[in-house]
Chain A
Amino acid sequence: MSKLEIADLHVSVADGEERKPILKGVNLAIDSGQTHAVMGRNGSGKSTLAYAVAGHPKYEVTSGQVLLDGRDLLAMSVDERARAGLFLAMQYPVEVPGVSMSNFLRTSVTAVRGEAPKLRPWLKELKEAMASLDIDPSFGERNVNEGFSGGERKRAEILQLELLRPAIAILDETDSGLDVDALRIVSRGINHVAESGETGVLLITHFTRILQYVQPDFVHVFADGRIVAEGGPELAERIEAEGYDQFSVERV
């Protein structure tokens, strides 16, 4: 059982000389085995939450706390956070020229598991994980995210989720840019990990579409850098029916 606790998190980004506050006191707790959806308009601060928790250098935490099983995530480097059990599926996964996917995946899995997987079982594991996400076997020889289509990039992110099996997975707009078939495959991959009960999933999205495939236990609505409404899956249905306008009036 793992627990991610975000308490009164304030985050700024550099905007020229100024520091622009984005997150203005976020409180959120996720247990492994749970699936949470964070919804909100573009610019509401959802992605900032994801990147700040993962430790992207562009974002500065000005106050608040992020604990994973009681350990202070904010005091850790980016890679330490990942080894502590955090995973971030990015909206725009980065190309790394000259580094093959197979080399990258094995290096990553070795770092997170603390030892290099034995070659034969590893190849079998990789092959099965790729097959479950409809990923072509030639994929291992391609360079990390280089020349990948939008759908391939997202499937590659979910492949990493499957292999790394984090305590907490933050999925930043994993549904964006996917057609129906790709969305179905990616959702199946997320559900496979979520159903293990070992991983807590934080699904960041501004559409309700993916929630038809991945059932959230909790829904949090973001506006202007904080959570303005919380509830169960019925909250997503309300957003689908009535949009986000109903929440923005609560601005101070």
Chain B
Amino acid sequence: MTGATKATNVDDAVVPDVPPTDLSPSLSSFDAELFEPLTGREESWRFTPLRRLRGLELGNHGQTGLSYLMTGPATVALSKDAAEQVRDRVIAPSDRVAALAWQAVREVAHVAIPANAVSEEPVHVTITATGDATCAGHVLIEAGANSATTVVLDHLGDGAYAGDVTVRLAQGAQLRLASLQQQEPEGVLVSNINAELEADAQLKAVAITLGGDVVRCNTAVRFAGRGGEAVLLGAFFTAAGQHQEHRLFVDHAQPDCRSDVAYKGALAGDKAHSVWVGDVLIRANATGTSTYELNRNLVLTDGARADSVPNLEIETGEVAGAGHAAATGRFDEEQLFYLQSRGIPRGEARRLVVLGFFADVARRIGIEAVADALVATVEERLSEYE
């Protein structure tokens, strides 16, 4: 890990109150200068094509070209707040790109869900980034105690956007959070979702990545109380030339919490590249932890590459269960033969097999419009590879 020793005596830094581990970030700070400039050789950046980030890694983001559209049920308060006003509720960035993004943010899109509020109707935050200049934003989602809501973040446009998201779940809160990446082919996104869960809170965070040139989504979940649950689901379709990277970090810092990670991706076309890194840390005090992470990738054509790296760091012997599975496979010709031998044309057979591959994750998303968007895009992409 780089920059590990830099934080301790600096004013603005937040040093974790527990001893450092291999997987936990070594530094969290709003001050980007505390983080070393990126070289691309860092462990957490080694897969990312820095040259294609259009300058997101350098900062100096503008305010033009970025728009937020927020809609939602009356029970939820939606506002744009001055960044300094809400800073104490924002989770400090833990890498340079996220910290540079924060420096550029003037207004935070704020979703405040009151305690006990229950809503079927989702909150939608549509984030559109356009133009050549890089831009940055922050979404703060606060779910009050025992509330139950759905929030959908939709990323659109052809711009380069560094987007940080803070998610705070009070005791017993339930939040379904979906982040859709459906940008134009030129779009670049570096997103950092940081979530903190109080006791008995339940977060289901879904990432659906379909568009863009380079998409890098970090999702970090920290349990701040007992009995929390984090279900992290993802589905992506990586087409020719696209780089789609998903990095998960679950910090079991409290006893008796449960995490379940399942990401599935299909890749097709030359230089399609997906990266999945799943880090789970079970700290010494986190007895009774149950965790499982899974990543499956389906490579549909030659020239595509899927990297899959699960990491499990366990510091206690008293876990309820901990496991991971990661596998990348080629398209199964025997499945195609079977379906075709029943008269189903090859293109239709491929469609069935690929949609079948995504079926369990799509079912677990639990947000109909999001699952539908996934299916529709997969069908559209597949039709390009017949």
Contacts and interface: CB of A to CB of B under 8 A. Distances in A.
A55 B343 CA distance: 12
A90 B338 contact: yes
Given A57-B337, A93-B338, A82 B353 contact: no
Nearest to A105: B342
A107 B344 contact: yes
Nearest to A108: B342
A98 B356 contact: yes
Contacts of A95: 335
Contact of A96 (B343, B348, B356): B356
B346 A94 contact: no
Interface residues of B, number: 24
Interface stretch (B144-152, B243-251, B357-365): B357-365
B126 interface: no
Contacts of A93: 338
A108 B343 contact: yes
A104 interface: yes
Contacts of B341: 54-55, 78-79, 81-82, 87-88, 90
A94 B352 contact: no
Interface size class of A (residues with CB under 8 A): 20 to 34
B343 A94 contact: no
A60 to B, nearest CB: 15
B355 interface: yes
Interface in B215-257: none
Contacts of A192: none
A248 interface: no
B114 to A, nearest CB: 39
Nearest to B352: A99
B177 to A, nearest CB: 24
Contacts of B131: none
A99 B356 contact: yes
Main secondary structure of the interface of B (DSSP, over half): helix
B7 interface: no
A143 B356 CA distance: 9
Interface in A25-64: 54-57
Nearest to B356: A98
A108 B335 contact: no
B371 interface: no
Contact of B352 (A54, A79, A107, A164): A107
B216 to A, nearest CB: 28
A144 B357 CA distance: 12
B312 to A, nearest CB: 25
A12 interface: no
Contact of B344 (A55, A79, A87, A90): A79
B361 to A, nearest CB: 9
B22 interface: no
A112 B342 contact: yes
A104 B339 CA distance: 8
A79 B346 contact: yes
A57 B338 CA distance: 12
B353 A99 contact: yes
B33 interface: no
A79 B216 CA distance: 40
Interface in B345-386: 345-346, 348-349, 352-353, 355-360
Contacts of B128: none
A111 interface: yes
Contacts of A144: 338
Nearest to B345: A79
A88 B338 CA distance: 9
Contacts of A54: 341
A111 B346 CA distance: 11
Contacts of A111: 342-345, 348
A177 to B, nearest CB: 18
A82 B340 contact: yes
Given A98-B355, A98-B359, A164 B342 contact: yes
Interface string A75-105: 0011101110001101001111111000110
B357 A83 contact: no
The 7 closest A-B pairs by CB, nearest first: A98-B356, A98-B359, A82-B343, A111-B343, A108-B342, A78-B340, A112-B343
6 contacts: A55-B341, A79-B340, A82-B341, A88-B341, A107-B352, A112-B343
Interface of B: 332-335, 337-346, 348-349, 352-353, 355-360
Given A97-B357, A103-B352, 5 more contacts: A96-B335, A104-B339, A107-B344, A107-B352, A164-B342
